[in-house]
Amino acid sequence: MERTKRPVQTSVKDKQLIEKRRGEMIRGSVQLFKQKGFHRTTTREIAKAAGFSIGTLYEYIRTKEDVLYLVCDSIYDQVKKRLEQIDLEQGTLESLKLGISYYFHVIDEMQDEVLVMYQEAKSLSKDALPYVLQKEVEMTGMFETLIQRCVDRGVIEMSEAYVHLLAQNIFVQGQMWGFRRWMLQKSFTLEEYIFLQTDLLLEGIKGYQKNSALN
Amino acid sequence: MERTKRPVQTSVKDKQLIEKRRGEMIRGSVQLFKQKGFHRTTTREIAKAAGFSIGTLYEYIRTKEDVLYLVCDSIYDQVKKRLEQIDLEQGTLESLKLGISYYFHVIDEMQDEVLVMYQEAKSLSKDALPYVLQKEVEMTGMFETLIQRCVDRGVIEMSEAYVHLLAQNIFVQGQMWGFRRWMLQKSFTLEEYIFLQTDLLLEGIKGYQKNSALN
Amino acid sequence: MERTKRPVQTSVKDKQLIEKRRGEMIRGSVQLFKQKGFHRTTTREIAKAAGFSIGTLYEYIRTKEDVLYLVCDSIYDQVKKRLEQIDLEQGTLESLKLGISYYFHVIDEMQDEVLVMYQEAKSLSKDALPYVLQKEVEMTGMFETLIQRCVDRGVIEMSEAYVHLLAQNIFVQGQMWGFRRWMLQKSFTLEEYIFLQTDLLLEGIKGYQKNSALN
Amino acid sequence: MERTKRPVQTSVKDKQLIEKRRGEMIRGSVQLFKQKGFHRTTTREIAKAAGFSIGTLYEYIRTKEDVLYLVCDSIYDQVKKRLEQIDLEQGTLESLKLGISYYFHVIDEMQDEVLVMYQEAKSLSKDALPYVLQKEVEMTGMFETLIQRCVDRGVIEMSEAYVHLLAQNIFVQGQMWGFRRWMLQKSFTLEEYIFLQTDLLLEGIKGYQKNSALN
DNA sequence: GATGAATGAGGCTTCATTCAT
DNA sequence: GATGAATGAAGCCTCATTCAT
């Protein structure tokens, strides 16, 4: 599952060094991409922000696009790693609520990164895109599991299609907080947003459940 | 309200000609932006796709970014114009459902355009961005009105904050259909998607309403 | 026969202008290549020597290698055009001598160009090389005809293989005068060189002829 | 005579090691230069082909051009060493024929090396070029001796100028076999080529000799 | 002596924009 | 109004060379 890494060519051999340098590179790039977007950022700026020369930059990547891939991949990884803290298996409404709340907090904390990822990922080549989309599938899969366990334990009753769609809705509503901040964050605090969205989500679930109980 | 047009400088005087040429330009550009994105599309390609020379292109715009603005603006206008078909004022659940359904259909038909708009609008300069964001505000405003009328007529009971959030949710779920098509359109037909989302939305509303009725 | 031109992409449409600009380009490039070789010459230098900007240069070619191809092709053409002055059909020893002498004079006059051609042609891509080699085939073909006519008219008697080889020898001895000038031109004047080489060549022919007459 | 070596700076002291490493370097480089030419070959590739690191490469040379010099020098040496097998002093037509034949065989066996040498030597700096040209002088000198001895012994009669030119012709006809292989080796086997060229050469000589005998 | 990571000058090419016709 | 040739700043990337380990 975690095997999905697209290799990025290096001429440096020391694995640890690669990890370190790429970390520096990614950190710098996120800041730049946030400010000016991928296309308006030059490789020279990336190198400078990373703290090394243009030559060194190219020891660790092959093309500028590799940087974008590395950045997106890294952000996905960070988000995913944090989401792995969620206890997906408990199968209670409480754990579902907690999971959603935790996810929204993560998005809030990583707002800049998430924004970059969603605005720039589409610039990835046909070659690299599948790798990051795969990560999205995995993440929405987590929400599906989270909900499905509630179904499994009889806490809620819901068809697979609804579970799938709900997971997507949760996922997108998280992102929404990040990329529509200019609109949402004027109206709501994070906690308000979480409270309201969770409420709507769960009422939707409960309503659905009641209806189907009638049949 | 409709006054929100940012003027784009021209050296041509004939208003009708301007309209015609810009139409050709926008049509061609949408295709190109869809395929390669704004940054990877050259002004030469735009001119060619529009059917005139690079020199002529620059008679109708001042910078490449003007094209992007014109494209985004035009798409927003088309979407908005179509949404204006919706009867916002009726204030029945049925009209709310119809409105949502109609919106989702519009998005589905204009998928490519919507995609372009959302992927490229962020490349607009600080100068032009407000003009298109304003359009978004207006559109979500329409959904707010649509819901609010139901509240006004007593069909549903809901605080302003919820109305605001619901409007945003509807708006984003529409877009979702377009920009997450690679995931959603594998699992659902448009009608299924509309049915399920509407159901969840309205159950959320009803659940909410019931709860607050208890207070 | 003369159809063997590899097209070089242009974004300029005016055929005459292309011809003119490419002429300027080639003239400047020959000077540069002569001095520093193709690889050590920069595109900026080429543009400057041609008398226009780097941008303009790239309106008339697609890659730096195109310049090399154009240069080689042009030189071959010039040499060939001059060789076409030779009366190939007469079939007398005198005309053979005249032809050789004329060829050596052409080489002498175009020494720099010929040098460039022979030193740099090998840098042409697999794509372009055949086009210039074809020209060589055509040129040696001319010498073959020149000799063959003498055979046809009974002036000399010689098998095809010898005719072929002789043509090659003449061709290479011409080039020799250009690319071994550091050695030859210290020992001989052009006229001396022509006289001696022609003498050796014809004696070889006569000797050959006599021998075979004995059989 | 053999003193003509241009020193190439080293930071390594051990003479034997230098010899060994340079051997590895030259062997690898010939392959690379043959395939891609000197300019398109990188120092990294050279180091890799030689079997050591880029750092080590630079312990044995000072600049990339040193490699080219070393390669050319080495090839010339090999060719010359083999030519030294020829008995120059015998002064018979038979020995002349044998010498020519032997030389052509050497060229044939070392085709790749010879090609590299002739195509890349021109990239040597003004500094290094004389050293390799000197080698050429020495080699043509060998052919001069070979012929001159025949003159000395009265086997043939010929002025110095002719001897000089003949030597050059032989030398160039050898090279011709290598660098015009695309044309010659389609028409002739090596033995045919040797036979025909020798024949033409000797008939030229005999013809010349007869003529002058008449005077 | 050997290694290979780091450097940055400099090369090739693109492309938004202008302007003479 | 339309055209398209001209411009050159600026971008991406390579690679010979150095130097700390």
The superfamily CATH assigns to domain D7-62 is Homeodomain-like (1.10.10.60)
* Integer Cα distance of C6 and C117 in angstroms: 17
Q: How far, in whole angstroms, is CA D156 from its chain's centroid?
A: 27
* Integer Cα distance of D42 and D57 in angstroms: 12
The answer to whether the CB of B60 falls within 8 A of the CB of B16 is no
- What is residue A98's predicted lDDT score, i.e. its pLDDT? 95
Mean pLDDT, residues C47-59: 97
Mean pLDDT, residues D109-121: 91
**Which 3 state secondary structure label does DSSP give B31?**
helix
**Chains adjacent to D (≥3 CB pairs closer than 8 angstroms):** C
Residues of D in contact with C39 (CB under 8 A): 39, 123
Cβ–Cβ below 8 Å for D183 and C137: yes
Tell the burial category of C161 from Cβ atoms under 10 Å away from its Cβ (0-12, 13-18, 19+): middle
> Phi first, then psi: what are they for D86, rounded to 5°?
-65, 135
* % chain B with pLDDT above 90: 73
First vs last C-alpha separation in chain B? 39
Q: Does pLDDT of A141 surpass 90?
A: yes
* Integer Cα distance of A26 and D117 in angstroms: 47
User: In terms of Cα–Cα distance, which of A157, A166, A193 is closest to A178?
Assistant: A193
Q: Does pLDDT of B148 surpass 60?
A: yes
Residue C15 (CA) to nucleotide E20 (C1'), in angstroms, measures 19
- What is residue C213's predicted lDDT score, i.e. its pLDDT? 53
Residue listed under structure tokens 């000589």:
D205
The DSSP symbol for A9 reads: -
* Integer Cα distance of D117 and D142 in angstroms: 19
Q: Is the CB of D42 under 7 A from strand E?
A: no
Encoding tokens for residue C17? Answer: 């202008």
Residues of C in contact with D137 (CB under 8 A): 183
Mean pLDDT, residues B209-215: 57
Which nucleotide across the nucleic acid strands is nearest to C67, CA versus C1'? Answer: E12
pLDDT tens string A172-201 = 999 999 989 889 999 999 999 999 999 999
CB neighbours of residue D196 within 10 Å:
20
Cβ–Cβ below 8 Å for B196 and A169: no
- What is residue B206's predicted lDDT score, i.e. its pLDDT? 72
Residues 34-93 of B with CB under 7 A from strand F: 52-56, 58-59
The answer to whether the CB of B106 falls within 8 A of the CB of B82 is yes
Q: How confident is the model at residue C99 (pLDDT cuts 50, 70, 90)?
A: very high
Q: How confident is the model at residue A87 (pLDDT cuts 50, 70, 90)?
A: very high
Q: How far, in whole angstroms, is CA C29 from its chain's centroid?
A: 17
Nearest CA in chain C to D169: C173
User: In terms of Cα–Cα distance, which of D45, D44, D52 is closest to D24?
Assistant: D52
Q: Does pLDDT of C204 surpass 80?
A: no
CATH of domain A8-62: 1.10.10.60
Architecture of domain C71-214: Orthogonal Bundle (1.10)
Strand E, nucleotides < 7 Å from a protein CB: these are 1-20
User: In terms of Cα–Cα distance, which of D79, D56, D71, D50 is closest to D178?
Assistant: D79
**Which 3 state secondary structure label does DSSP give D12?**
coil
Residue listed under structure tokens 């969770």:
A198
Least confident residue range of C118-127, C165-174, D1-10, D84-93: D1-10
Alpha helices by DSSP H, listed for B84-189, are 93-109, 111-120, 129-152, 160-179, 181-187
pLDDT tens string C121-158 = 989 999 899 998 999 999 999 999 999 999 999 998 88
Q: Does pLDDT of D207 surpass 80?
A: no
Among B122-136, B140-154, D124-138, the range with the most confident prediction by mean pLDDT is: B140-154
Q: Does pLDDT of A215 surpass 60?
A: no
pLDDT tens string C62-71 = 999 999 999 9
pLDDT tens string C170-199 = 999 999 999 898 899 999 999 999 999 999
Nearest CA in chain A to B140: A183
Work out the mean pLDDT of chain B and round it to a whole number: 91
Mean pLDDT, residues B37-58: 97
* Integer Cα distance of A193 and A198 in angstroms: 8
Least confident residue range of B111-125, C78-92, C198-212: C198-212
Of the two residues D205 and D168, the one the predictor is more confident about is D168
Q: What DSSP element (H or E) covers D17? A: helix D15-40
- What is residue B1's predicted lDDT score, i.e. its pLDDT? 46
Whether C200 and chain D come into contact, CB under 8 Å, resolves to yes
The answer to whether the CB of B182 falls within 8 A of the CB of B111 is no
Strand F, nucleotides < 7 Å from a protein CB: these are 1-20
Nearest CA in chain A to B173: A169
- What is residue D40's predicted lDDT score, i.e. its pLDDT? 96
Buried residues in A73-84 as b, exposed as e (16+ CB within 10 A): bbbbebbbebbe
**Chains adjacent to B (≥3 CB pairs closer than 8 angstroms):** A
Least confident residue range of C75-79, D23-27, D138-142, D210-214: D210-214
Cβ–Cβ below 8 Å for A137 and B183: yes
Q: Does pLDDT of D11 surpass 60?
A: yes
* Alpha-carbon distance B200 to nearest alpha carbon in chain A (angstroms): 5
Q: Is the CB of C54 under 7 A from strand F?
A: yes
- What is residue B207's predicted lDDT score, i.e. its pLDDT? 66
Mean pLDDT, residues A14-24: 96
Q: Does pLDDT of D177 surpass 90?
A: yes
User: In terms of Cα–Cα distance, which of A48, A41, A10 is closest to A116?
Assistant: A41
The count of residues in chain D is: 215
- What is residue C146's predicted lDDT score, i.e. its pLDDT? 95
Cβ–Cβ below 8 Å for A206 and B207: yes
The DSSP symbol for A121 reads: G
- What is residue C163's predicted lDDT score, i.e. its pLDDT? 94
Q: Does pLDDT of D130 surpass 50?
A: yes
Work out the mean pLDDT of chain A and round it to a whole number: 91
Q: Does pLDDT of A213 surpass 90?
A: no
* Integer Cα distance of D203 and C157 in angstroms: 14
Nearest CA in chain D to C34: D122
Encoding tokens for residue D57? Answer: 């490469």
Mean pLDDT, residues A30-48: 96
- What is residue B55's predicted lDDT score, i.e. its pLDDT? 97
Q: Which residues contact C63 (CB under 8 A, 6 or more apart)?
A: none
The answer to whether the CB of B166 falls within 8 A of the CB of A212 is no
* % chain C with pLDDT above 90: 80
Among A44-48, A159-163, D8-12, the range with the most confident prediction by mean pLDDT is: A44-48
Q: Is the CB of D43 under 7 A from strand F?
A: yes
Q: How confident is the model at residue D1 (pLDDT cuts 50, 70, 90)?
A: very low
Amino acid of residue D68: L
Cβ–Cβ below 8 Å for B183 and A136: yes
The DSSP symbol for A189 reads: -
Domain segments of chain A: what residues? 8-62, 71-214
Domain B69-214 of CATH type 3.40.50.2300? no
The count of residues in chain C is: 215
- What is residue D209's predicted lDDT score, i.e. its pLDDT? 63
- What is residue D69's predicted lDDT score, i.e. its pLDDT? 95
Work out the mean pLDDT of chain C and round it to a whole number: 91
* Integer Cα distance of C28 and C17 in angstroms: 17
Q: How confident is the model at residue A206 (pLDDT cuts 50, 70, 90)?
A: confident
Alpha helices by DSSP H, listed for D43-156, are 43-50, 54-60, 64-83, 93-109, 111-120, 129-152
Mean pLDDT, residues A108-127: 91
- What is residue C208's predicted lDDT score, i.e. its pLDDT? 63
User: In terms of Cα–Cα distance, which of B149, B166, B176 is closest to B207?
Assistant: B166
Encoding tokens for residue C125? Answer: 């891509």
Which nucleotide across the nucleic acid strands is nearest to A13, CA versus C1'? Answer: E4
Q: What DSSP element (H or E) covers C52? A: none
- What is residue A161's predicted lDDT score, i.e. its pLDDT? 92
* % chain B with pLDDT above 70: 94
Name which of A165, A187, A199 is nearest B196 (Cβ-Cβ): A165
